[in-house]
Amino acid sequence: MIKIKFLTLGLLTSLLLPPFFILPLGFVIFPYFHKLIQEVNRINSFLLHFVCGFLYGLGFFTIFLIWIRNPFYIDQATENYAIISFLLIFILSIIFGVFFIIFKITRKLNSQLFLIPLIFILFEILIANLAYGFPWLTFSLIFSNNFFGSMLIYLFGTHLAGFIIICIFLIPTLFIEKNSSLFFSRSLSFLIISLFILLFLFYSFLNLNTESQKSKKINVDLLQMNFSVSQNNILSKDEKYNQIKEAIKSSEAELIIFGENNFPYVLNNLDEISLQNYIKDHQTLIIGATRKDNNNYYNSLLVIKKNHNQYFDKKILVPFGEFIPFRNYITFMEAIAGTVDFKAGFVERNLAITNELSFIPVICYEIIFFWRLLNNNNLNTNLIINITNDAWFGNLVGPYQHFYITKMRASEFNKPIIRVSNNGISGIINHDGKILKSTKLNQYTKINYILEVKNKMYNFLNFHKIYNYIFLIIFFCILIISLIKKYEK
């Protein structure tokens, strides 16, 4: 019965994240999770701990990653292999089960309440860095739709914000359990609430200060073309090109942005694009395309002006989407990823719109790798432009998760983000994570917006890195103390 409870809790936990955001559930899920952990600890079985963790992960990831099967249904040749998409869910659930064994190792500690958010976030950090890395899962996503989430992510970063959010959900435990040893924890909860109030005031003060900073305005058009990726509904290349051409000709904006790979032809040379013939002297065009250079293919973002072109090649490629590991053994995946692997780019992640306005180019799911986007060479850029094609994610949770991850980056980096997705969700997000304008899924949409961009915005990214090291130090200290207690008798 206890195993079914963990499976159910996993399913319910997924409802805390986009697109559901049923946040009150968190105050039930995590206190009850703590109660179940105590029951499992009394049984004292490595296998039971693993199975309960595995089932919790299975319930959670089955809903959270349900979109991962969608690319297999784009082409009939891969439909029969859709079951393979559950392999990632299965692997992540196994890892979560292994992490649950930590609860058994540390069961002699006076209180394991602190361990719950710590283990969840350590799991998050591990899968973000394991193999090719998959930082799609972050528990800070739970608060990504509200002001408090933006504040936490800005001040503390992705991982520590997630830790604090789980701690908040565990606060009812401090008052439900009749345990005198929790007096200190109850006092600590009041301190946390007081700290929250102080942080709120501090964050508000920082935002007020930005109002006095110098800024510039730019008139932007976002073109969500909604080109289908299905072989049954696909337009010809010429039809796509003509639609793009007409959209450019009708625009008066200074900056015109299309989605990832919207340009329908493979480019051997930037001069071949010819779209510069349709833009006006004051305009800059940004569009995604496939670029070929020395027989290598690149997923590129192009910056087109009347007399000058720039490009950025995607650096973080999607495994099994833009390149196929062990290609010789899984040739059926070529229907999704093609017969030739894309190459990772090496161009600096810093492009200019004008002499006074520069941006960080980010293509598709690169946006989830927050620690690989900013460096000393692009720290002072004005904004981030993220082009993507979320048609691969289907219509369920995937596109919403991707959009809210992007929203988190705006808060974390303290920079506005312009996001253009081929099929949605496209939008303009302010530096504090506020959505200024957005589109709906699977509709052709044009957004026009005059965006105000600050000259220089500060962030706490260096502190965020320190917090991650502190996490690891605390974890190993707890593990060592637990092992000493276990073998001291």
Half-sphere exposure of 73 (CA within 13 A, CB side): 12
Structure confidence at residue 130 (pLDDT): 87
pLDDT of 118 above 70? yes
- The pair of three-digit structure tokens given for residue 313, joined into one six-digit string: 């090649």
Structure confidence at residue 205 (pLDDT): 61
The per-residue pLDDT for range 266-316, each reduced to its tens digit, is 999 887 788 999 999 999 999 999 999 999 999 999 999 988 899 999 999
Rounded to a whole number of angstroms, the CA Rg of the chain reads 24
pLDDT of 456 above 80? no
Structure confidence at residue 489 (pLDDT): 54
Structure confidence at residue 375 (pLDDT): 87
Structure confidence at residue 484 (pLDDT): 73
Dihedral angle, C-alpha 155, 161, 165, 171, nearest 10 °: -70
pLDDT of 30 above 60? yes
Cβ-count burial 101-116 (b if 16+ within 10 Å, e if not): ebbbbbbbeeebbbbb
Contact criterion met (CB below 8 Å) for 149 and 433: yes
Q: pTM for the full model?
A: 0.92
- The pair of three-digit structure tokens given for residue 485, joined into one six-digit string: 């207690």
223 or 118: which leads in pLDDT: 223
CA dist., res. 247 & res. 227, Å (int): 14
pLDDT of 392 above 90? no
| 488 — pLDDT class (breaks 50, 70, 90) | low
pLDDT of 378 above 80? yes
- The pair of three-digit structure tokens given for residue 300, joined into one six-digit string: 């590129």
Structure confidence at residue 186 (pLDDT): 55
Residue with tokens 């969608």: 70
Structure confidence at residue 232 (pLDDT): 58
CA dist., res. 321 & res. 35, Å (int): 41
Most confident of 74-78, 139-143, 270-274, 353-357: 139-143
CA dist., res. 391 & res. 228, Å (int): 7
Structure confidence at residue 413 (pLDDT): 94
CA dist., res. 194 & res. 174, Å (int): 16
Pick the closest to residue 287 from 243, 318, 252 (CA basis).
243
Contact criterion met (CB below 8 Å) for 456 and 218: no
pLDDT of 238 above 70? yes
| 388 — pLDDT class (breaks 50, 70, 90) | very high
Report the percent of the chain where pLDDT is more than 90: 57
Structure confidence at residue 32 (pLDDT): 96
With DSSP H G I counted as helix, E B as strand and the rest as coil, what are the percentages for the chain, rounded to 5? 55, 15, 30
Pick the closest to residue 397 from 21, 6, 87 (CA basis).
21
Q: Which bin fits 311, alpha (ψ -120 to 50), beta or left (φ > 0)?
A: beta
Contact criterion met (CB below 8 Å) for 263 and 392: no
DSSP E strands: which ranges in 427-472?
A: 427-429, 435-438, 445-454
pLDDT of 123 above 90? yes
Q: Is 486 helix (H, G, I), strand (E, B) or coil?
A: helix
487 or 368: which leads in pLDDT: 368
| 73 — pLDDT class (breaks 50, 70, 90) | confident
Where in the chain are all domains bearing CATH 3.60.110.10?
A: 215-458
Structure confidence at residue 373 (pLDDT): 94
- Report, as an integer, the average pLDDT of 48-59: 97
Structure confidence at residue 109 (pLDDT): 65
Report the percent of the chain where pLDDT is more than 70: 87
Least confident of 10-24, 268-282, 436-450: 268-282
The neighbour count for residue 13, using CB atoms within 10 Å, is: 25
Cβ-count burial 157-173 (b if 16+ within 10 Å, e if not): bbbbbbbbbbbbbbbbb
Structure confidence at residue 52 (pLDDT): 97
CATH number of 215-458: 3.60.110.10
Structure confidence at residue 111 (pLDDT): 61
Structure confidence at residue 159 (pLDDT): 93
Structure confidence at residue 182 (pLDDT): 54
CA dist., res. 196 & res. 30, Å (int): 20
Q: State the Cα angle at 401 between 400 and 406, rounded to 5°.
A: 95
The per-residue pLDDT for range 225-234, each reduced to its tens digit, is 999 876 656 7
CA dist., res. 428 & res. 439, Å (int): 10
Handedness of CA 106, 111, 112, 117 (dihedral sign): negative
- Report, as an integer, the average pLDDT of 337-353: 88
- Report, as an integer, the average pLDDT of 450-460: 82
pLDDT of 432 above 70? yes
What is the average pLDDT score of the chain?
87
Contact criterion met (CB below 8 Å) for 418 and 257: yes
The neighbour count for residue 245, using CB atoms within 10 Å, is: 14
Q: Is 229 helix (H, G, I), strand (E, B) or coil?
A: coil
Pick the closest to residue 155 from 418, 466, 430 (CA basis).
466
